[in-house]
Structure 1
Amino acid sequence: MKSVVLVVIFLSFHSNGFHIEANRRSTSNHMDLVDVFVEVDLSGPLRTVNDHFLSVAIDASLAAEEKFMDLLSSPKLKTLAKALAPAFLRFGGNRQDFMIFTPLTHHQKNVSAEHTCEDLELPPMLEDRLKKEWTQQEGFLLKEDLQRKYKQVKFTEYTVDLLYSFANCSGMDLIFGLNALLRTAANVWNSRNAKSLMQYCESQQYRMSWELGNEPNSYEKKAGIRVDGNQLGQDFVHLREILSESKLYNNTGLYGPDVTQPHDRRRDLLEGFLESGAKAIDACTWHHYYVNGRDTSLEDFLDPEVLDTLALRTNEILEKVELVSPGKSVWLGETSSAYGGGALGLSDTFVAGFMWLDKLGLGAKLGLDVIIRQVLIGSGSYHLVDNNLDPLPDYWLSVLYKRLVGPEVLEIEAFSNFLQGKRIRVYLHCSNRKSYGSGAVTLMALNLSGHPARISVPARMSNSTVEAFVLQSDPPGEEGLCSRSVTLNRELLKMVDDKHLPELKGTSLAPTEYLQIPGFSLAFYVLPNAQAPACR
């Protein structure tokens, strides 16, 4: 037998599940190899996440000049958004707390009952002009972010119409972030502007959910206003009372407080908020980023220890919420790879996918119910869609996750005696029932190293084929880690046209065939006939 780098996966059924054992064999050049043992339990789900688990945000910066909201009428963008449904669509971010609803005296609704989603399309010439102007606008927004000096943003019914139309036509559920920095002399939230906005939304029968404020722990730096957790909780209770008086919104979702990672005052703010306001919210939201976008490195994006920091922060939040409000759902209300708008040349390239897929896998396993990706479109370099409205690598990864992965999380543990073993990370879910039948499972794998391997499924699994979806950069390997192009099973991914995505087909493998796992790759392996009891 030829000497190769080989990962052999042995699957044997037991009454309560099966286990996967992965062994690496030596090569002719005596490369150091790693033995990995993976245990899996298919008897029942570890937990079940929300069917909107992978959700997305539109940054409020898009409305800093209302004309840029017209980009939401782009046929291409609507096509891309539809492929991510079902999902929540969060409208929020730093500028959320500087936005004032300013109704027009005479408003002609942008969307009427007679219009279909196909009718509401941005003319190509206007789209091209807005895309060019948006590039310049991003420079102004970045300057504001760096100086932490934000201008007041006035928006009209037009912004709301376009947002709701985009969400509705994409099959997403809109979450609108209200301005919490509108405050009285007693430092209590002034709800007058929010009531005006809600009255308009209710008059149009816009079904949506709400948030109040974005990262309140940073208000002092951004606006010279300090709000403690107890008062913030009371503000949410006040908002819930307003919603309860509405025929349309009396049972709608309310989420918050959208704090950043918990330490020092941020921890105190969250505790105070939960004590006074937990009863008002349907889910507790917090924000997570791994690194500072201004001083991070390529190595950080591939470092298992950096990825593991998510567990530390998540467990701290979960414990705090469970202590004060047992059973309350916890969401990552905003998240990506690097804060500060992302890391230029990293957060919008293939290497960002390692942080993104690991966050989806680990977050679900830890107990997060929804993860909202910053952003689908908006300022920064952590977007899923670039300034030309073309999909980036993390977009394609997100679409595959939506199609292949179901909400039931299964127990899987990987063990190794070697440090290098930490660079192979695996997660397991039931497969998406809309794509696969009962009993199917989807294994997600990340290879953070540059060494290739092969996966062999033994012949005794002859009743189950394997569908492989392997994502690599273009060009593949280390050379392409910072590429904005990605391949699926060696085929370059790109839109067919503005209204159609490619098929995104997997490679079907018979039980006796081998699956190549390249170095620096991300993969989904679907076992349609695994007959997992947890997935029936």
Structure 2
Amino acid sequence: MGMNAFVRFTAAWFFLIFHGPYVRPDLFEMFDVEAVHVDVDLNRVANRVNERFLSVAIDASLVAEEKFMYLLASAKLKTLSSALSPGFLRFGGTKQDFMKFNPRSYHLQHPRNSHPFVGDTCKRMELPPLLEENLKKEWALQSLFLQQEERKGKYKKVGFTEYAVDLLYSFANCTGLDLIFGLNALLRTKGNSWNSHNAQMLLDYCESRQYKMSWELGNEPNSYQKKAGFRVDGYQLGEDFVHLRRILSESKLYKSSGLYGPDVSQPRDHRRDLLEGFLESGAEAINACTWHHYYVNGRDTSLEDFLDPDVLDTLATKTHEVLETVDMVSPGKKVWLGETSSAYGGGALGLSDTFAAGFMWLDKLGLGAKLGLDVLVRQVLIGSGTYHLVDDNLDPLPDYWLSVLYKRLVGPEVLHATVLSTLEPGRRLRVYCHCTSKRSTSYKRGAVTLFALNLSKNTAKIYLPSHLANSTAEAFVLEAPRPGEQGLLSRSVKLNGLVLKMVDDQTLPELKGVPLHAGEPLSLPGFSFAFYVLTEAHASACQ
């Protein structure tokens, strides 16, 4: 150690002795450690989100060939999805506006009030292993074809039958997820209003089977000109939703069902005007206003974008624009991210399904709740593209494990947490705090879950305020399986040093935290993220 380094080491050592844990961050630079102070208000709930805040989508592209819907009968996929309950399951996306219900008439003779999915049906409807393997191989090829279709911007119309609806509803029912079905809004009359005839046939069938679900109408209507060659203005779109709500109100089963929309893209150019027009005519028809958000274009992004705090901050800018629009036209209306992930255009190849994607996903969960969004629907659980939670072999990817831990540890009550630094270390450490989920029986009332992501290569030492510093804690630290850039691009993840993988097709591994000594700062390695359950926080907001 040179003389200058020795002097710095001695200064840091004396400072620790005489000043306790509140250490100047610059004293740690030589050790590749950054000290950051965090304050948390335990006395009030800053915001409260839906208990199904983290929700997921199945891309409608799965029904482009109906046989692939049988993947939803996979015991493995059902096991993985059950761990994400409670949540909404959105069936929609670009392909929904090119789908048409083509029923086989004899199926419509089912008596009303029949209940096809009761008892042990979930077990009986499991996919035979050989058929599952063949479907997965074929789906890998189908997924490539669908991505080519997306790039060309020319979409083939498809039909689906009762079998697809049965499989979808069975999957949602057996996994504890609440189904939202996206209807085709591009079925239009000569006057350019929505033609509801096909939707009415589907509703009649679903009601005959007593399928309880919610509904959407159309996907990203601001892009209809590009995808279908004509426009639907916002006011007309609102009228279409009013028409659908009227149809639902005439149904005994669906008169109180949820209706969500208009699923517009994030504000850009004329899109805000479309949302305003929609709300002026259709706000009363919907239960929540939905919009879509992606950070970057999947075709020209980079690893640096996924780790850039400026890129992550763009979510706040877009969210404020949408919230202002909704508050101006329909104050009090809930706002959802009805579809969201890292990169649009099907995701970023080699990035959106890797460990690196977790930084965008965890920050979106934390920031979205803090800003006041009520639900986030992750694109996609399974479907075409590269931003899915499970791969083509139905094996869980890093963002899946992150999502499961969030479900288990993070409650709907948002607490105000602040990083007390405007310097670079503070910008690269992003921290959020909620009451610990009450669904977890392992922790007492009053426990809080602090979750953080470290966008720096250096380890962060997180110093908590005095009223939290002596709380016992458990750490759930997620890291890439190996150091360096290649580790960040891995499709696996370590929890507290152990690579996560399923025990078998119907069993998840035990996701255990590591106890921390009371009074010690929280240590977060470089380029990692973590959940810390402060078990003795005694937060009055969480009692």
Q: Bin the TM-score by the shorter chain.
A: over 0.9
Give the AA of the match of 1:206: Y
CA distance in 2, matches of 1:102, 1:46: 48
> Does structure 2 retain, via aligned residues, the 8 Å contact 1:461–1:511?
no
1:451 to 455, 458, 466: 458
Check if 1:206 corresponds to 2:207.
Answer: no
Q: 1:183-194 residue pairs with structure 2 within 5 A?
A: 183-194=188-199
CA distance in 2, matches of 1:261, 1:440: 35
> Does structure 2 retain, via aligned residues, the 8 Å contact 1:443–1:524?
yes
1:350 to 355, 360, 370: 355
Alpha-carbon displacement from aligned partner over 1:124-168 (angstroms, at most 9, x marks no partner)? 000000000011111221121111111111000001100100001
Check if 1:237 corresponds to 2:238.
Answer: no
Corresponding residue of 1:83:
83
286-295 or 131-140, larger mean C-alpha shift: 131-140
Check if 1:73 corresponds to 2:73.
Answer: yes
Corresponding residue of 2:3:
none
Q: What SS class does the counterpart of residue 390 from structure 1 fall into?
A: coil
> Does structure 2 retain, via aligned residues, the 8 Å contact 1:21–1:39?
no
1:494 to 487, 498, 501: 501
Q: 1:31-42 residue pairs with structure 2 within 5 A?
A: 36-42=36-42
Corresponding residue of 2:323:
318
Q: 1:304-343 residue pairs with structure 2 within 5 A?
A: 304-343=309-348
> Does structure 2 retain, via aligned residues, the 8 Å contact 1:462–1:510?
no
1:517 to 499, 520, 524: 524
1:475 to 482, 486, 489: 482
> Does structure 2 retain, via aligned residues, the 8 Å contact 1:342–1:381?
yes
Give the AA of the match of 1:126: L
Residue ranges of structure 2 left out of the alignment (5+ in a row): 1-5
Corresponding residue of 2:103:
103
Give the AA of the match of 1:46: A
Corresponding residue of 1:12:
none
Q: What SS class does the counterpart of residue 131 from structure 1 fall into?
A: helix
CA distance in 2, matches of 1:535, 1:411: 13
Structure with bigger helix share is 2
355-364 or 38-47, larger mean C-alpha shift: 38-47
CA distance in 1, matches of 2:94, 2:467: 55
Q: What SS class does the counterpart of residue 77 from structure 2 fall into?
A: helix
54-63 or 138-147, larger mean C-alpha shift: 138-147
Q: 1:283-432 residue pairs with structure 2 within 5 A?
A: 283-432=288-437
Alignment RMSD, CA only?
2.4
Superposition deviation, residue 84 in structure 1: 0.3
CA distance in 2, matches of 1:533, 1:122: 48
Check if 1:508 corresponds to 2:515.
Answer: yes
CA distance in 2, matches of 1:34, 1:509: 19
> Does structure 1 retain, via aligned residues, the 8 Å contact 2:183–2:215?
yes
Alpha-carbon displacement from aligned partner over 1:402-461 (angstroms, at most 9, x marks no partner)? 000000000111132422321001001000012122101000110001112345779996
CA distance in 2, matches of 1:423, 1:494: 29
Corresponding residue of 2:535:
528
> Does structure 2 retain, via aligned residues, the 8 Å contact 1:229–1:271?
yes
Give the AA of the match of 2:84: L
Superposition deviation, residue 268 in structure 1: 1.1
> Does structure 1 retain, via aligned residues, the 8 Å contact 2:38–2:463?
no
> Does structure 2 retain, via aligned residues, the 8 Å contact 1:459–1:511?
no
Superposition deviation, residue 180 in structure 1: 0.1
Residue ranges of structure 1 left out of the alignment (5+ in a row): 10-19
> Does structure 2 retain, via aligned residues, the 8 Å contact 1:430–1:440?
yes
Superposition deviation, residue 44 in structure 1: 0.8
Give the AA of the match of 2:419: A
Give the AA of the match of 1:509: L
1:511–1:142 Cα change, 3 Å: same
1:441 to 445, 448, 464: 448
Superposition deviation, residue 264 in structure 1: 1.5
